[in-house]
Structure 1
Amino acid sequence: MIAPNMEIHRDAEKLGELAPLYAALLAHHVNLPNVPQAQPSELSWSLRRAEYETWLKDSNGFVVVARRDGIAVGYAVVSIAAGPDDMWVTGNHIAEVQTLAVRAADRGAGIGTTLLDAIDSELGCQGVRDIQIAVVATNEDAIRLYQRRGFTPRLVVLSNYAR
């Protein structure tokens, strides 16, 4: 399989084309065991897109888009917060992968790894060494991917959402 081309964007111009990938990620998440009820797809995308726009504008964040034959097959959005962390020893900036999504048909083909490689490269250029990512607790494939990259569990988020 041909490796995807990677693009890095620092503005919201390309966000619209990511909506189908986000919808696929949301559908994947709602099919995992022990997850709360999700927002309707269009509302969820609208809320998430607004967050992306804020992170891109206010945090030196960026979007990495993986393309095959000109079509987006995966993406990641990264925000960068000022550090150091108030509790943990970190550098002066802390990156967070806010979303990493890969088209359902392309999962397991190394696109997530390639997106993470591009993130690491971009953060290295910016001198950012600390990075975190949240993952749905029952998303075992994603957890394995991140652990292979050296991520370790640090916090557990508990929720009690009213339905």
Structure 2
Amino acid sequence: MRLSTKGRYAVTAMMDLALHDGKGPVTLADISRCQGISLSYLEQLFAKLRRQGLVKGVRGPGGGYRLARSADAISVADIILAVDERVDSTLCEGREDCQDGERCLTHELWNSLSKQIFDYLDGITLAAFLSRPSVQAVIERQNGGGEGKGEHRMHVV
């Protein structure tokens, strides 16, 4: 599977938005600071996410980004595809020309793995992932220590 930093960062940023859904827009600067992702990189990712209808921008004071759909209607696969990532374990990117222009011996194996990975990621919504006890524990730990006071502190990696 070829999942680059682009896909991982897009999922992380969208998780951050989902965590703050209903609390107002989140600025890319907040996401950048809290998630350790460069602001210019986030701007590129959010242009793609906006074009695919996953986020919407809010202008003006207090503006930023919010989810364009509910967190239970956005899968991890939706996010990865929106930023032009592929969930593909084959060497030929699914073209079946892996060995001298023909299908290789193990193409079916890697193609099946790709489908299973995609189906897994497509079955996980932002809301479902955020509701996992292990994720809630990380959020609680990162927001703990009495420093919450409305600060945007959640780190998802």
Structure richer in helix, relative to its length: 2
TM-score when normalising by structure 2: 0.28
Relative contact order: is structure 1 or structure 2 higher (C-alpha 8 Å, sep ≥ 6)? 2
Structure richer in strand, relative to its length: 1
TM-score when normalising by structure 1: 0.27
